[in-house]
Structure 1
Amino acid sequence: MEENYRAIIEAIGENPDREGLLRTPYRAARAMEFLTQGYEQDINEIINGAVFESSNDEMVIVKDIEMYSMCEHHLLPFIGKAHVAYLPSGKVIGLSKIPRIVDMFARRLQIQENLTQQIGECIAEVTHAVGVAVVIEAKHLCAMMRGVEKQNSSMITSVMLGRFREDPTTRKEFLDLIRQRGC
């Protein structure tokens, strides 16, 4: 990967041997490895047995999960927050596992629409919940730095599974709760 970054630097007309760029191919390769580490992660290792029996059947929400991903079309970041809810069906998942699941899928070359779907389907599979909802709000540097160059636009995607899709009251409760300000 380092050699490819060196070639990119040369292709744009820069000198990869000048002082400021000497280690840039190395640093860029390490950064890309970090930003795409989701390909190497395994859901079973992330969950690590943290699914617990529970009689709770009320909505569980983790909101404002900071996330970033890389647009698969331009290799530029999109940055935002995810809100995830599920309706337990005898099992709950450890609190830290939901942001870890978000990160696992976000740290891949991705489009926001698919990212939202992947998170929802994974939470549903792991928890066997009767419903899962995911909303992601993000700003895309590919639309801010190039193309339409719109600095204040953002994209919102949602996935509603199970009862969140079937029951408008449940969906409304979720959407109302994620709009509320935190503690």
Structure 2
Amino acid sequence: MDARTKPVGTAFPPSTTPAVRPTQEEAEAAVRTLLAWAGDDPTREGLIETPGRVARAYGEFFAGYGQDAKTVLSKTFREVGGYDDIVLVRDIPFSSHCEHHMVPFVGKAHIAYLPHDGVVGLSKLARLVEVFAKRLQTQENLTAQIIDAINEHLGPRGAAVMMEAEHMCMSMRGVRAHGASTITHRFTGVFAEDRTEQDRFFAMIKR
């Protein structure tokens, strides 16, 4: 049976084939279609260059698909004077796009880890957030991807990630809950096993 004629409600298996990336021209044509569907005239003066602008903006919004967490976290430093306590970078600003409505959610991330064999440059943690935020996301998945990458590539004794964000899919549409924040967090290693370490993490965020 051709995929296009598969009965409604039938689940498709997850794709293992990378998506074929459309050309710039195809992307711009899709934007023109959306402009017309929204009820405007894509040929009027104010919208003539909009498809190109949108395509370029999407290149920035979703640049994370071309970036790799392993590369970002590849360089570590072992000469840290024996330091083995919490390393925390808080209030890392980020913006991402909801994979359900393709509208932004914006907030800040707090990342901490307990070093095992060296530390990573502090700016790399902010860069790691960007790698995954610049993709279509849910906040829950974004939180998990960040901490999983830290565990995989740094091998810390423990890690903690907390994210706070406002979702435009809630504030601009639907319930229109302006100012509502969504908070997600995940702990691994020592942070997951020891409530005292969790309390330290939260206390350091609030300072």
Deviation, 1:162, is: 0.6
Aligned partners of 1:135 and 1:121: how far apart in 2?
A: 13
Q: Which residue of 1 aligns with 2:138?
A: 111
Q: Which residue of 1 aligns with 2:175?
A: 148
Partner residue of 2:149 out of 104, 117, 122: 122
Partner residue of 2:123 out of 96, 110, 115: 96
- Mark the runs of 5 or more structure 1 residues left unpaired by the alignment: none
Q: Which residue of 2 aligns with 1:135?
A: 162
Q: Which residue of 1 aligns with 2:99?
A: 72
Deviation, 1:42, is: 1.8
- Mark the runs of 5 or more structure 2 residues left unpaired by the alignment: 1-26
Deviation, 1:40, is: 0.6
Query: How big is each residue's C-alpha offset from its partner over 1:70-125, in whole Å with a ceiling of 9 and x where there is no partner?
Result: 00000000000000000001210011100000000000000000000100111112
TM-score (norm 1): 0.95
Identity across the alignment (%)? 45
TM-score (norm 2): 0.84
Deviation, 1:127, is: 1.3
Compute the RMSD of aligned alpha carbons.
1.0
The amino acid of 1:123's aligned partner reads I
Aligned partners of 1:52 and 1:72: how far apart in 2?
A: 36
Aligned partners of 1:176 and 1:168: how far apart in 2?
A: 12
The amino acid of 1:144's aligned partner reads S
Deviation, 1:33, is: 1.4
Aligned length: 179
The amino acid of 1:125's aligned partner reads E
**Local SS of the residue matching 2:149:** helix
Deviation, 1:44, is: 3.6
Q: Which residue of 1 aligns with 2:89?
A: 62
Q: Which residue of 2 aligns with 1:20?
A: 46
Kept in 2, the 8 Å contact 1:56–1:90? The answer is no
Deviation, 1:157, is: 0.2
Instruction: Indicate yes or no: 2:191 matched with 1:164.
Output: yes
Q: Which has the larger radius of gyration?
A: 2
Aligned partners of 1:131 and 1:44: how far apart in 2?
A: 18
Runs (4+) of structure 1 exceeding 2 A deviation are 43-47
